[in-house]
Structure 1
């Protein structure tokens, strides 16, 4: 390990985005580009969503990001073997020259997002260049690190946001006027297009704009923590000094913020409700999901609120927590904005104190982005779905700038980049 190199790699010098030779599917070797894409690994609902993606095309990227085998070592070896085979068969091919990739997502509802995919120099949190806003689960970081070591690749970009001076955005817009490398529409209704920026002058304009700026991790805290771990393990300078990211200027393209819900596998709703008696106000809602979420939003506007589901077609709205409960369970050494977060109250008061569910035990708790899937899985297995209301983006940014991390899986920024459009092999 070259400690001097690592010191250089973590020096605070702003965002450093570098072109790379992208690894992309050959459209002539797969059924369709849409059929080989996947949501990010942590968004795929398992097992149903995983099986659906595997069946969509034998070369779907999910076979790399979520390989299926009986042991972790076997899963990682399988992913590495699959990647080597697809490269040998020409299913995946390396682009001829390094590029920054302009990536566009567009939806009929009016959503348009464009950003830049490149390799970003990995810097420690103390550098203040990349700001995390959520805690991570060590076992997930270990899992992602083992997969990256085995494949020697960054298989999907994480999502970062920043606010630039416009120069990089102008490069993005100019690139989007040309013919794309690929254009496809996935089954969720999003259109995806990709362009390559190879002109040295345009790349320099992007890099000049990014210098001196910091970025917020919108999605991919575990992958960023993985980049940090792997960079520390390898000599510097080297390919592990950088990680694959999608960087979006939210001054031009604001993201949407959604909640991530909890699935408590072995806690029936009746037992969850009995435990909170006298600690929260509880109201039964015999309404469809959209109306229940509206009621949650209204209650969350006045204080902490949660929806429980899993014992039938209705919901249970929890709000107005007992102040004495919060006083004895929520740490007092953090800013008020952190202490009053729904995720803070959920983890500190309900999970740790009332329900006694370990937040990092996957056998006890799951984190699911899709509302309907969370409710359905709770009903199927007799557990409890805890539906959350999203946090405002300005709250996330303010806490991140203070160096305060939110409870794990507090937010879901989107739209998230589709996995499978461009990968990075570290040895090319």
Structure 2
């Protein structure tokens, strides 16, 4: 059963919350991060990406860079930019994009649940990507970017969320990208207990987004356990900052593909080749697939709809995913892309960027684009429940959780 517990939150002063809230650290490259911090000096990105405080000659992974993050966090708490609540409770975090809202519980999840697979994964992580966040969390002694978790909706939790939202929010602001962010604090001890009991009755929680951050938090927890051999399991380093959303509210956007060339085929040869596996029909408008087993294709200024033949639709949690069908039946055998993780001929375009970005890429640095039908949250659950892994770049979640609104000190 899942341990999802309340915590003592460090959070921004209401007067600066909108300025502090920042997109996740890995959305930006170094140059972009510096520009964003220049635009908004209070942005939490300055702490999440402390290399923004140094010139480009300084290694972004140098020890003094992480020490600078700790210094800035301590200063922000000392000068009132951040406050620390005295009670241990849950928070409600609602994000609204294009009129559509998703509302989650801000809490701490257990590193033991992470290791024993109560918290289920659908992606592998790479150790080299974890090192930066391990060092950041350990040096700051704080988790600053919440892990995006999902669970099958529960009536008790839904009722408590609705009750909390009857009160005035702590924060209610719209970020520069048009996303509205609202936060409520769970005021009642009875509500806290009800939520904790309800989660204890849920046997599976799923990482929707943030596998590397979760792995990093887990490894910092293990490091702290080794440093404190008398640990009881109740210490804060045994838990990691999360926002948990019910499956019924989550929207996954497609993760589209663009490829540099046709692997030696002419356009006509290529279309003839893929027609063995797909019905190929010209479209007079851009194609955003509306049903599973269909794909949009943009080639030499023309959109097409591809429909997978029934004999290439496996009844399998992984191979039956649209991203897997495209990879296994077209990208690999026809275009020669064996490993999409490492092949420089393929790139991935988040659905938030729209179909126009696919057209732009094919007119600039790519030859062909594929628009995808999005993976569903139920498909993600099925893959994780089977103990399997999703193909690379299978899901794109929007809107992104902001960092710096909630901090968990360990």
Corresponding residue of 1:336: 316
Cα distance, 1:116 vs structure 2: 1.0
Corresponding residue of 1:37: 21
- List gaps (5 residues or longer) in structure 1: 1-13, 328-333
Q: Which moved more, 1:97-106 or 1:341-350?
A: 341-350
Matched, 1:175 2:158: no
Cα distance, 1:250 vs structure 2: 3.3
Instruction: Specify the SS of the correspondent of 1:243.
Output: strand
For the structure 1 residues 390 and 315, does the alpha-carbon distance in structure 2 shift closer, same or farther, using more than 3 Å as the test? farther
Once the two structures are superposed, residues 284-333 of structure 1 have per-residue CA deviations (whole angstroms, 9 ceiling, x without a partner) of: 9797xxx4233xx15x6445x35457x8xx46658467999x89xxxxxx
Matched, 1:192 2:181: yes
Q: Which moved more, 1:139-148 or 1:349-358?
A: 349-358
Corresponding residue of 1:330: none
Corresponding residue of 1:5: none
Once the two structures are superposed, residues 228-282 of structure 1 have per-residue CA deviations (whole angstroms, 9 ceiling, x without a partner) of: 332333314332211111112335xx2111123356xxx6346587699364259
Partners in 2 of 1:41 and 1:272 — Cα distance?
Answer: 39
Partners in 2 of 1:24 and 1:52 — Cα distance?
Answer: 24
Match of 2:205 among 200, 215, 238: 215
2:150·2:246 contact (CA, 8 Å) conserved in 1?
yes
1:257·1:411 contact (CA, 8 Å) conserved in 2?
yes
For the structure 1 residues 335 and 220, does the alpha-carbon distance in structure 2 shift closer, same or farther, using more than 3 Å as the test? farther
Cα distance, 1:157 vs structure 2: 1.1
2:292·2:373 contact (CA, 8 Å) conserved in 1?
no
Matched, 1:65 2:59: no
Match of 1:293 among 287, 292, 313: 287
1:261·1:371 contact (CA, 8 Å) conserved in 2?
no
2:172·2:180 contact (CA, 8 Å) conserved in 1?
yes
Instruction: Specify the SS of the correspondent of 2:8.
Output: coil
Match of 1:256 among 248, 251, 255: 251
Corresponding residue of 2:86: 96
For the structure 1 residues 84 and 131, does the alpha-carbon distance in structure 2 shift closer, same or farther, using more than 3 Å as the test? same
For the structure 1 residues 243 and 119, does the alpha-carbon distance in structure 2 shift closer, same or farther, using more than 3 Å as the test? same
- List gaps (5 residues or longer) in structure 2: 226-230
| TM-score, scaled relative to structure 2 | 0.78
Q: Say what the alpha-carbon RMSD is for the aligned residues.
A: 3.7
Once the two structures are superposed, residues 79-110 of structure 1 have per-residue CA deviations (whole angstroms, 9 ceiling, x without a partner) of: 33432333343322322322211112234x44
| TM-score, scaled relative to structure 1 | 0.75
Count of residues in correspondence between the two structures: 386
Q: Which moved more, 1:130-139 or 1:352-361?
A: 352-361
